[in-house]
Amino acid sequence: MNDLHKDKIEFCRPTWAEVDLDNLAHNFRVLKEKVGGGVKIMPMVKADAYGHGMIPCARKLAECGADSFGVASIEEGLRLRKAGISLPVLVLGAVLSDSVVGFFEAGLTPALCDWETALALEEEARSRNCRIKAHIKIDTGMGRIGVLWNEADVFIRKVSFLEHIEIEGLFTHFPCADEENNDLTALQEERFFRVAGSAERSGVRIPLLHAANSAAIFNRGSAGFNMVRPGLALYGVSPFSGKDDISLKPVLSLKSRLVYVKRLPAGSGVSYGHTYRVPDECVVATIPLGYGDGYPRNLSNCGPVLIRGRRYKISGRICMDQLMVDAGREVLSTGEEAVFIGSQGKEEIKARELAVLGGTIAYEILCGIGGRVPRVYMDKTSFFTAEEVWKEKRLFTRFNAEMRLGFSCDAHGLSGEAMTHDISASGLSFVFEGENGASLSSPLPLHSSLDMRLLDRRGVEVLRTGGDVVWSRRISPQRYSAGVAFTAVPGTSPDDIRSFLKKYCGCQSIFSNPRQAHSV
């Protein structure tokens, strides 16, 4: 195990999943290059980012340049909003018409595919005196939710007449994009663009057209669409069965430790039903991972495990909380690491391998890893190392405080002084106002690199650091707010931030208006 984590991963139950955010960023760049410039990317972070952890993954993807996010439900979108993520969020699933208020409360974009929901959205928007953006879902061959493609022309025109709904997007889904020599995907594209073309000819301009999932991105690129929706490939798993893309890097590893080791005589049965008996006297190790953690029970007697860089096989039936491994005559010790997904030495176990053994798909293996398995986030490119961000809640503890901030952005010729709104170990947010109430031409561009100086009330610099703008929005013609992730600058180290937080958080002499710290 990486020395960086030895002192931090001290779970009472030593089973955890490591999520490599650097690899997530790498995969995003691979996909971005694949689709080319001018094509927006909407990463799928539904189902807790395929089991990887929605909030940390979404934050990293936002830093990488994601344009929006896709979720399955209003509740998932609300989680993103509560975490301070302000990028557009499309709820891909259908909802009952009496649930539409959630889109307005959380600022989410609905997928629209029935008239009852359209009317409910229109009525709610009218009552709030606002307009809501929606993406119309058409069924070109999936057979799931969506207006049938040959009925979509009429539906789109009807929605376009609703005063308080703006049709921002049109989308469909490919069920067979991962199959080579399948004609359905081409037929779906033809149907989709026939509908889009008809809408445009009738005077309905729809800015965003999207359909491509991970498989379609690799098979067909953007294929005339101006947005794509990658999912599985982002997390380092090839969308094609039996074929891995070497350009992708796996993001998640599932690990545990041996908690009990003993010798069993030849012929001894192991686990429920004694479906496995040791052929000879051997060492049997017990590991605290089971189907209660989402590890599939049907991998009993066949699931691979890496211990000391060697492959072993699960012995006997997997229990709810534990499983056993026959290690032969190998002398093992408690505390040794066992890898169920990931690499150890020269060996590697991939999620797809487990899926094949279990008769399922890699999606289910990853999404099935349960909530009681802690996620450990590794991010070497962050200003803070994985050691500081090993727990999700630690990353997002914010201290509400107003403090003077001097900043400059050489690339855009911007500079000024602002007031912070909150400060955390990973970044800060601030409000900037034009001089003498002058109007501002635009907010700070996303991903601008800033040089920042935090000042006390006397104007004395107490911290200098870099920053990357991860969100920026106008509050009024004269003011905007922005969120910035800390980045390293020459002469500054993570210790400087850590010392700053320890020394000054809540200190009256440095904060103009200190407030109680809270966790987001």
CA 492 to chain centre: 29
Angle between the 152-160 and 184-201 helix axes, to the nearest 10 degrees? 40
CA nearest neighbour of 235 among 324, 363, 356? 363
| Cα maximum dimension of the chain | 86
122: DSSP letter: H
Contact by Cβ (8 Å): 366, 52: yes
Going by the DSSP 8-state scheme, the letter that residue 28 receives in this structure is H
* Pair 311, 304: CB distance under 8 Å: yes
Helix (H, G, I), strand (E, B) or coil at 260: strand
Q: Which of 6, 243, 260, 272 is catalytic?
A: 272
CA distance 315 to 330: 15
Residue among 46, 137, 255, 350 flagged as catalytic: 46
Task: Compute the distance between CA of residue 192 and CA of residue 489 in angstroms, rounded to an integer.
Answer: 48
Q: How far apart are CA 295 and CA 166, in angstroms?
A: 44
H-helix or E-strand spanning residue 138: strand 132-139
Concatenated DSSP letters of 369-392 = S-TTS-EEEE-TTSSS-TTTTSSH
In angstroms, what CA-CA distances link 460 with 135, 417, 510? 50, 13, 10
Q: Return the bridge partners of 337, or none.
A: 257
Report the distance separating Cα 22 and Cα 6, nearest Å: 20
For this structure, is 272 an active site residue? yes
State how far the alpha carbon of 252 is from the alpha carbons of 16, 18, 47, 311, in Å: 10, 6, 15, 19
CA atoms of 286 and 297, how far apart (whole Å) = 16
* DSSP β-ladder status, 165-171 and 208-210: parallel
Q: Kindly provide the b/e burial profile for residues 441-471, where b requires at least 16 CB atoms within 10 angstroms of the residue's own CB.
A: eebbebebbbebbbbbeeeeeebebbbbbbb
How far is it, in rounded angstroms, from Cα 384 to Cα 396? 13
Cβ atoms of 318 and 297 closer than 8 Å: yes
Q: What is the rounded CA–CA span in Å between residue 469 and residue 472? A: 7
In sequence order, the 6+-apart residues with CB closer than 8 A to the CB of 475 are 431, 481
Token pair listed for 73: 């439900």
Rounded CA gap, 223 and 217, in Å? Answer: 8
Query: Which residues are identified as catalytic?
Result: 46, 272
